[in-house]
Every structure is written in C-alpha cells, then in structure tokens.
Amino acid sequence: MKQVKHISRLFLSFFLLVAFHTSRSQRKTIDQKVDSVLHLMTLEEKVGQMNQYNGDWDATGPITKDGDKQSQIRSGMVGSMLNVTGVDHTRTLQEIAMQSRMKIPLLFGQDIIHGYRTIFPVPLAEAASWDLDAIQLSARIAATEASAAGVHWTFAPMVDIARDPRWGRVMEGAGEDPYLGSLIARARVKGFQGNGLGNTDALMACAKHFAAYGAAVGGRDYNSVDMSLRQLHEIYLAPFKAAAEAGAATFMNSFNDLNGIPATGNKYLQRDILKGAWKFKGFVVSDWGSVGEMIQHGFVKDNYEAALVAANAGSDMDMESRSYIQNLAKLVKEGKVKMEVVDEAVRRILRKKFELGLFDDPFRFCNKERERQQWNNPEHLRMEREIAKKSIVLLKNNGILPIRKQSAKGSEPRNIAVIGPFAKAKSDNLGFWSYDWPDDSTRIVSVWEGMQKKIGADTRLLYARGCNINDTSHAGFTEAVAVAKNADLIIMTAGEARDMSGEAKSRSNIHLPGVQEELIKAVYATGKPMIVLVSAGRPLIFNWTADNVPAILYTWWLGTEAGDAIADVLFGDYNPSGKLPISFPRTEGQIPIYYDHFNTGRPATSDSDRFYRSAYLDLSIYPKYEFGYGLSYTTFQYSDLRLSKKKIKDTEKIDVTMKLTNTGKYEGEEVVQLYLRDKVGSVVRPVKELKDFQKIKLQPGEAKAIHFIIDKQKLSFYNDKLQWIAEPGEFDLMIGASSEDIRLKDSFELVK
Ligand code: NOJ
C-alpha cells in the first residue's frame, strides 16, 4: 500500500512537472504567436484592433451612425463589435473580417448580465441568495447560452460596491459589502469563464466599472466620485481585486471621474494598480464613449487629446468613441504615444483572441446546431427556478405564510385574490439588462400562472389589476376592493417596472411608484388577510406596508421562472432563505446607509439617544431592514460558541465553533454570519465587518456544529500608508442572523 502511494506520488510530481512545462510552453507559444502577428501589422491595423463598434442590430448607448462599418472591418480597422449576437449575425461579420489583409478575427461582446436566453434573477437578487455555487451556476448557464449564439465576451460581472439605492445600477451588482461582493465577483468570473478560454462554452468575463462607479455622488448615474485612497482600496477595489485574482479576462473602466481624474484616463487605476500591482494580463475596454467623454469632463480639449490620455493611461480598447481610430496612429507618428503603448495594448487583445481559439477557427462559436440546442434547454429553466427561489427574501410573516394548497378539510372552497400590476406581469419579471425574445410572453411565468399550477381543485383565483405601475389613476381601485371582499386571502403585487432600475435610472424618490401603496391600503381596509410581494431591482421604501401588512416577500426581478419560484415559496414548497445584500432605508434622507460604518466620537446607541449624537433628530438610527436580514418559515437557535484560543499571534489561527439548531417545524436554510470588530486601530475601524458566512440546511429538530477559522487575513485592513496589515489588539467576534441580529458574542486578542 505504502509503495502504491509512493509510486502515485512520483507519478503526480512527474505529471505536475509536465503540466507546468506544457502550460509554460503553451503560454510561450501564444506569446510568440501574438508577436509574430504583431510583427506583420501596420500601425493602422494595430489601432484597428483597439477599436470597438456597436453593431447596428441593437444599442446600449447613444448610437453614432457614421458610415459603413463592414468596409472598415474589411480593411482591418475594427477589432471587436458589441451587440452583435446570434450565429448568423456573428458569422456574417466574421466572414468579412476574414477578407481583411491580416485576417484577424473579431471579438463579439455583449451585456450578458443575468442570463441570455434564460433570464436569471438580477445580480442584486442573486446576491440575496448568499449561495455562491448557485451564483456561479447562473453565470455558467448564461455563458453556455450566449457562447452558443456566437458571443465571446460578456460585459459582466459588474462588481461595483453600491450603497445608494437611488443609483439605478444597484440592481446590477452584489450590494454594499466588500467581502460578500468579492466572493460573488469570483463566483461570477468563474461561472462565465467555466473551464477556461479555449472551451467553446466559455465567455470572457469583464469586471466593471473600474473603478468606484458605484459611489457616484447623490446616486446620480455617471456622477463624480471623491473618496480617500484608503476607502477606495478597502471597500471599492476589493471585488475588482478578487475578480482579477479569479482570472477575469478583461476589465472595463468607468464613466466617472475619481478624485478629479476620469477613470478612463486614470493611470493610477489602470497602470499602477491593475496592470502593475495586480499583474493583470488581460485587456481594458473603455465604457461606451468614455474616451471621448473626457472632453465633457473638461479633462481634455478634443478627441485627439482624449486618445492620447486614455491610451497612455492604459485603456486598451475604445468602445464607440472613435477617438483611437481617428487619432492614435497620428499620435504615434508624432511621438506623443509610444509605439510600445500601442503594441502592448494590441498584444493583450490578440492574446485573448488566441486563447479563445479564434485564430485556429474564427467560426468556432458559430455552430447553428449548438445554438438551437441551447436556445430551449429545459434544464436551464429548472436551474433558473432554483436560483430564483433562493433569491427571495421574507421580510415579514405573522404566520400567514406558507399558504396551504388546499382549503382546510371540511371547510368551504376558498378564494385567493391576486391583485396589483404585477399579478399577470411577464416582461417586468425579467428586469433591466435582459433581452426581448419573440416568444418571451409564452416562456416567462407570471405570478398568476405560477399560483394556478399550485392550487387544489377547491381553490379559486380571483384577479384585479387595481392600478398601473407608475401613474396617478385610481380608476381600478373599486374593482380591486370588490374582488378583495370576495376573497379569503389576498396576494398583493407591487413594485418597479422593468426599466425603473438600471443604467441611467437613478431616482430621487424610491418609494413604491405611483399609487401602488394607496391601493395596498385600500385593499387592506377590507380586513382580509394579506401578503405583499414586492418586485424590484433596488431597495424600495414602503413603510406603511411594512408596518401594517402581515407578510411581505421581497421578490426582486426574478427572471423567466419568476412566477413558479414565487409560488414555490408562497405555498411552502420552498422555505425562503434569502438575506439582504444591501440595507433598506426608511427614507431617502437616510441614504447612504450601510452597516459597516464607523462609530464616530458621538455614537447613538438607540433611538432614544439622539441628542448630541451622530444621528438625525427626526429619524431612527436603524435602517428599515438591515444588511444580512431575512426570515424563514422555521426558526434557528444559535448556541455553544467556542474559540480554540483567546490570544493568537498573526501566524496562528482560531477555530471558532458553534451549534445551529432548527427549532421550528420546517426544513430550512440559515445564513450564519460572522462579523468582527477591531476595537482600536491606527485608523478608525468599522463597528462590524462581515468576515465569513455559511449557508446551512437543517431538518426540523436537527442541529449541526459550524466551524469558522479566524486568521491574519480576516484581521487585516489598509492602514494610512495603504499597507495591508493586522494590528495587535482586541477584537470583538459576533455571530448572527443579520448584521443587527447578533446571537453570539466573544472577543479575542491578537498579540505580537
Ligand atoms: C454602458 C454601460 O455603462 C456598460 O456597463 C455597458 O457594458 C456598456 N454600456 C455596453 O453596453
């Protein structure tokens, strides 16, 4: 036996050695190939590789109609196209690229943000699942579908930390926390890129928007960002670093200026941090027109200067502003941009084209049969439903949920009224950044349809729309109230239309839109038991509903299978397990609000303690729903906290154990959250920081021991010299069901 082990160890070392050399030589081969192509290219062709145009089929930004793109592709002036999708379209353009002198294949990029054909929950909703495997799987399926349609590259994941729900793009990221955000960034990159570029089901990922786009002042999209470098590194760059470490093939820079320097022309971000300190080997694409927009920023005089600044700062590809194609060759000839800058950018781009295998076969993603197979893959819908269920957050429940599928034995048949503008909604379930496919209306499952499939023969569903999503008409109220009076139970649907959160969708008022909350009040006045479903891309404000209605499920924008997933939760086939990845404010005046704030010199410790305190006189110090919050149909008990050591050196670890028991009647999952507080630091530390979590499934009555490890990494932060260090001193350890619902506490010390 021993010998077998020895031989297998020998074999393993040999195998690893061969694998190491093979991968080195493969890398070398790609670099050599890149150089041999580069060597043959004219300056103009090189600049062409750095130029990306929007296709004319669809647009996700302001379109520039300027002539014949196809002839520019033919003459080697275009390296990549965005918004060209489908095997037929991509093949047509790739065939034209093959007529160019160098025959360099085009890259096709598209915003595959939460699914391509099968639409998954919006990224913020998925983040509420705290289920990294599920999140990775959703990206994997999106990649499988999109790559089968000829796409090579998704402009995702968006890993911007977002702490201002007025900002429309909160829907696109993982919320407010750098730790959760980093793990999700990694899961999404891995999901998109699968087993690696070179496989025909891999999509290149693009971590965006580099950087700090989510901190736009006032939550107004595209707005300026001003922040300390410490905060930048600790909070906003953390998920980007995780994405780079996970091997993201590309990065996208951002529209905003950071401390006065537009990100697109920001050398510190792109050259010093990303390509320097982080050793990123992929390429950076600008955001749509952001090279040229440096003129409006007042940072450069014209497109000529814009190209100069962006290229030198490390933006490798110009999306849609035409600054590079019009000026870069001239800038090189005039000696303002060094040839090495262009060569380096083109090398990065060509390397990815080689890695994708496009030089071997430019049409390897253009397989009609594969496209057809993936177009209607039922397994993808099944997985979508699973992930959608996990994304739902139970905000309130007085016991009315879950609903019984049949009425109680011997009792009368019952009526359930489904009321509100989302009851029969279809495309509003998909949310922003999703595509309209011709047969969507039959594919997308509405709440109404989902519920119909669940109910027994003795239950009838009644319907009234009541009002529109965002207007002032009360015309439907009377009917809604009449329907409610005939019902035994009311499911109210409310929320935001599909295009109310997303790019350029910042809003100063994030209350439930239109007259929806008035409708809820009017129907509630019938005295019938009521459950409210809120469908949205961002945290909304609905205080009256939250304070009065017995049960609320936050259902976000859940994607194609939304109605089935919601019905699964309503009828108890799935016990909700989502936890909020972002704080929900009480009013817009409380924004920005996030859990890992500093204590200040005058902390308020309760709502009765607000004078001379860091608090508003007219508002609670607490959010409406805090980060990490979410209920279950069952209950969990936290007990038996033990730390293996109370004092450690920074080379040592603490083994933290505790017991989690399902004390309720249903099987359920709990997200056990571990927070730390560094009591005294050379820079002030937050009141608590999420440092670990586990999602645990338990049967009723079942208990499990849970283990966490505390090591130096978890105790470290950026000091004022931007060094990542752990300082000796005392730490509080808190374990709980949310950032406020702390169930177990202890402390330990880091010693020299
Ligand atoms: C602008 C958006 O900011 C970016 O996220 C997106 O990828 C591009 N447009 C391309 O659609």
Q: What is the DSSP string of 429-454?
A: GT-SS----TTHHHHSPPHHHHHHHH
How many Å apart are CA 673 and CA 634, to the nearest integer?
17
Q: How much is the pLDDT for 325? A: 98
pLDDT value for 58? 59
Return d(Cα 549, Cα 536) in angstroms, integer: 18
Strand partners, 672: 694
Q: Which of 287, 428, 596, 678 is catalytic?
A: 287
> What is the pTM (predicted TM-score) of this model?
0.95
Active site residue 287: yes
Q: Which amino acid is located at 149 in the chain?
A: A
Q: Are the C-beta atoms of residues 80 and 318 closer than 8 Å to each other?
A: no
Q: Where are the domains of the chain?
A: 385-590, 636-750
Atom of ligand 1 nearest to the CA of 255: 3
CA of 155 to the centre of ligand 1 (A): 7
Region of residue 417 (left: phi > 0; alpha: psi -120 to 50; beta: else): beta
The ligand 1 site (C-beta within 6 Å) comprises 60-61, 82, 111, 155, 208, 287-288, 503
Q: CA–CA separation, 107 vs 52, rounded Å?
A: 9
Q: How many CB atoms lie within 10 A of CB 302?
A: 13
pLDDT in the model for residue 246: 98
Ligand 1: distance of its center to the CA of 288 in Å?
6
- State in Å: Cα 196 to ligand 1 middle: 24
Measured at the CA of 250, the angle between CA 249 and CA 252, to 5 degrees, comes to 160
What are the mean pLDDT values of the chain's consecutive 10-residue runs (752 residues total)?
41 46 61 97 98 79 72 95 95 95 98 98 98 98 98 98 98 98 98 98 98 98 98 98 98 98 98 98 98 98 98 98 98 98 98 98 97 96 98 98 81 88 97 92 96 94 98 98 97 98 98 98 98 98 98 98 98 98 98 97 93 93 98 98 98 98 98 98 98 98 98 98 98 98 98 96
What pLDDT is recorded for position 4?
Answer: 38
In whole angstroms, what separates CA 367 from the centre of its chain?
Answer: 29
The residue whose C-alpha atom lies closest to atom 9 belonging to ligand 1 is 288
Give the type of residue at 92: T
Specify the residue with its C-alpha closest to ligand 1, atom 8: 288
Classify domain 636-750 at the CATH superfamily level: Immunoglobulins (2.60.40.10)
Element (H, E) at 740: none
Query: What is the reported pLDDT for 65?
Result: 67
What are residue 747's DSSP bridge partners? 732
In Å, how far from its chain's centre is CA 20?
Answer: 34
Q: How far apart are CA 50 and CA 91, in angstroms?
A: 21
Class level of CATH domain 385-590: alpha beta
Ligand 1 atom closest to the Cα of residue 158 is 5
Ligand 1 centroid from CA 82, angstroms:
10
pLDDT of residue 8: 46
Candidates 636, 533, 626; CA nearest to 580 is: 626
- The predicted pLDDT at position 57 comes to 63
> Would you state the pLDDT for residue 67?
67
Measured between alpha carbons, how far is 346 from 344 in angstroms, rounded to an integer?
6
Condensed to tens digits (0 to 9), the pLDDT of residues 579-616 reads 999 999 999 999 999 999 999 999 999 999 888 999 99
Mutate to test the pocket of ligand 1, among 85, 206, 288 (most ligand atoms within 8 A of CB): 288
Ligand 1 pocket mutation pick from 251, 252, 291 by most atoms within 8 angstroms of CB: 252
Please state, in angstroms and rounded to a whole number, the distance separating the CA atoms of residues 726 and 744. 24
